[in-house]
């Protein structure tokens, strides 16, 4: 297992803020990055090379692969055909199977259940009749979600009454869907775990998340968890990455219930709820991911501070001067020129203890 030498190039699929922060972490470790992104790329500002091309452009994908030593990604919705082509040329870390598991909520929940981990009760919903049956079985409220491509609460409809089934089904616009029973949770936490090329894992302290309108608002560490819950969170995250023979950082979103931890979803990448590690750990999630995919030993991810991470979404940018003036506060901006409602423009990490 040889580590990438300094000066090697890491390919990153996706040029958003996660790709940008991965690129900065890679350059701190002496690597170059090449970003592949069909659209505008905040990551391009801090990368050595950029390919702006669609994921269907085979010639562009081949040229990209030829110029990098290893390929990673900042988002999970990369088309399978592109991954197959790239994977034939270069190692993809985390591996394609791990990505496939988390791309589809049905596959993901089936996989998690197979590991003995608790998830929301769920049913496959191929048609309206299946939705009506599932609602009768799981009860309301329930949440109908597209199986693929959902993020930040998009592609989801809450059903409070079985009479809303037809409208909810229509809102899926023909996409495959699952129905999830409603989980009565006390709080939402997430745990970010890293697994290295030789199978060692490092788990960050769980963070407590607050969402608004389906979008992450704040993450706070330490999370208000019992010692037993904290241990369970780390153990289940370790089981997930071992089962996937995973290399890199993975985010596990959890519901904390009176009956224990319930897995909401897994994200095979660095995660917004792990941004606090930039201010709370010697080695943050971005460096940990780059270390893993480059074959370096994982770093020290122990938490040395209490941190509140707050996303700067849309008009939150108006408060930037106050954040810049605040003590013990890191400001991270993503270089997006246009402010739009619901758009993540940056985040701040406030050290609170
Ligand atoms: P997701 O996109 O699946 O992460 O869902 C976004 C947010 O919706 C979650 O962070 C929860 O706050 C809420 N949510 C999703 N699924 C459920 C569920 N089965 N029960 C209760 N709340 C949920």
Residue with tokens 């023909």: 174
For a pocket test of ligand 1, which of 119, 187, 264 has the largest count of ligand atoms closer than 8 A to its C-beta? 264
CATH 3.40.50.20 domain range(s) in the chain: 9-92
Q: Identify whether the C-beta of residue 301 lies closer than 8 Å to the C-beta of residue 277.
A: yes
The rounded percent of the chain whose pLDDT value lies above 70 is 99
Residue nearest ligand 1's atom 1 by CA: 153
Average pLDDT, whole number, for the chain?
96
Q: Where does the chain hold its CATH 3.30.1490.20 domain(s)?
A: 121-181
Assigned CATH topology for domain 9-92? Rossmann fold (3.40.50)
Domain spanning 121-181: CATH 3.40.50.1220: no
Which pLDDT belongs to residue 151?
65
pLDDT score, position 213: 87
Ligand 1 contact via 120 beta carbon (within 6 Å)? yes
Over the stretch 162-203, which tens digit does the pLDDT of each residue have? 999 999 999 999 899 999 999 999 999 999 999 999 999 999
How far apart CA 296 and CA 28 sit, in angstroms, is 14
Asked if 142 and 123 touch (Cβ cutoff 8 Å), the reply is: no
Note the pLDDT tens digit of each residue in 264-311.
999 999 999 999 999 999 999 999 999 999 999 999 999 999 999 999
In a 3-state reduction of DSSP, which class is residue 45? Answer: helix
Q: At what angle do helices 285-294 and 17-28 cross, to 10 degrees?
A: 70
| pLDDT reported for residue 1 | 60
Query: In a 3-state reduction of DSSP, which class is residue 157?
Result: strand
The confidence score (pLDDT) of residue 268 equals 97
Say what the pLDDT of residue 234 is: 97
Total residue length of the chain: 353
pLDDT digits (tens, 9 = 90+) for 31-78: 999 999 999 899 999 999 999 999 999 999 999 999 999 999 999 889
pLDDT at 98 over 90: yes
* Cβ of residue 188 lying under 6 Å from some atom of ligand 1: yes
Comma-separated ranges of CATH 3.30.470.20 domains in the chain: 187-351
Terminal Cα distance for the chain, rounded: 39
141 lines ligand 1 (CB under 6 A): no
Fold designation for 187-351: D-amino Acid Aminotransferase; Chain A, domain 1 (3.30.470)
Q: Which atom of ligand 1 is nearest to the CA of 253?
A: 4
Backbone φ and ψ for 122, nearest 5 degrees, come out as -145, 160
Sign for the CA dihedral angle at 163, 212, 214, 234 comes to: negative
| pLDDT for residue 97 | 94
């Amino acid at each position: 297992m040889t580590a990438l030498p300094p000066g090697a190039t890491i390919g990153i699929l996706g040029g958003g803020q996660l790709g940008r922060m991965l690129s900065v972490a890679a350059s701190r470790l002496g690597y170059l990055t090449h970003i592949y992104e069909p659209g505008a790329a905040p990551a391009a500002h801090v990368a050595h090379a950029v390919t702006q091309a669609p994921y269907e452009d085979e010639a562009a994908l081949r040229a990209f692969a030829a110029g990098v030593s290893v390929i990673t990604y900042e988002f999970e919705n990369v088309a399978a055909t592109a991954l197959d082509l790239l994977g034939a040329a270069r190692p993809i870390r985390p591996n394609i199977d791990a990505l496939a598991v988390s791309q589809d909520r049905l596959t993901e929940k089936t996989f998690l259940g197979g590991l003995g981990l608790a998830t929301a009760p769920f049913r496959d919903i191929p048609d309206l009749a299946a939705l009506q049956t599932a609602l009768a079985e799981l009860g309301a409220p329930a949440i109908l979600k597209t199986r693929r491509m959902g993020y930040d609460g998009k592609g989801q409809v809450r059903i409070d009454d079985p009479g809303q089934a037809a409208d909810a089904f229509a809102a899926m616009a023909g996409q495959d869907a699952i129905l999830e029973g409603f989980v009565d949770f006390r709080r939402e936490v997430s745990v970010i775990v890293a697994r290295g090329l030789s199978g060692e894992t490092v788990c960050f302290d769980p963070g407590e998340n607050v969402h608004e309108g389906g979008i992450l608002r704040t993450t706070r560490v330490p999370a208000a968890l019992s010692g037993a819950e904290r241990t369970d969170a780390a153990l289940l995250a370790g089981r997930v990455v071992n089962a996937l023979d995973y290399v890199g950082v993975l985010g596990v979103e959890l519901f904390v219930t009176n009956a224990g931890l319930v897995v909401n979803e897994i994200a095979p990448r660095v995660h917004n709820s792990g941004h606090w590690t930039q201010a709370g750990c010697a080695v943050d999630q971005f460096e940990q991911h780059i270390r893993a995919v480059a074959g370096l030993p994982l770093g020290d991810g122990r938490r040395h501070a209490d941190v509140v991470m707050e996303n700067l979404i849309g008009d939150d940018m108006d408060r930037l001067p106050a954040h810049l003036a605040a003590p013990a506060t890191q400001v991270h901006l993503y270089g997006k020129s246009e402010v739009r409602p619901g758009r993540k423009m940056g985040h701040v990490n406030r050290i609170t203890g």
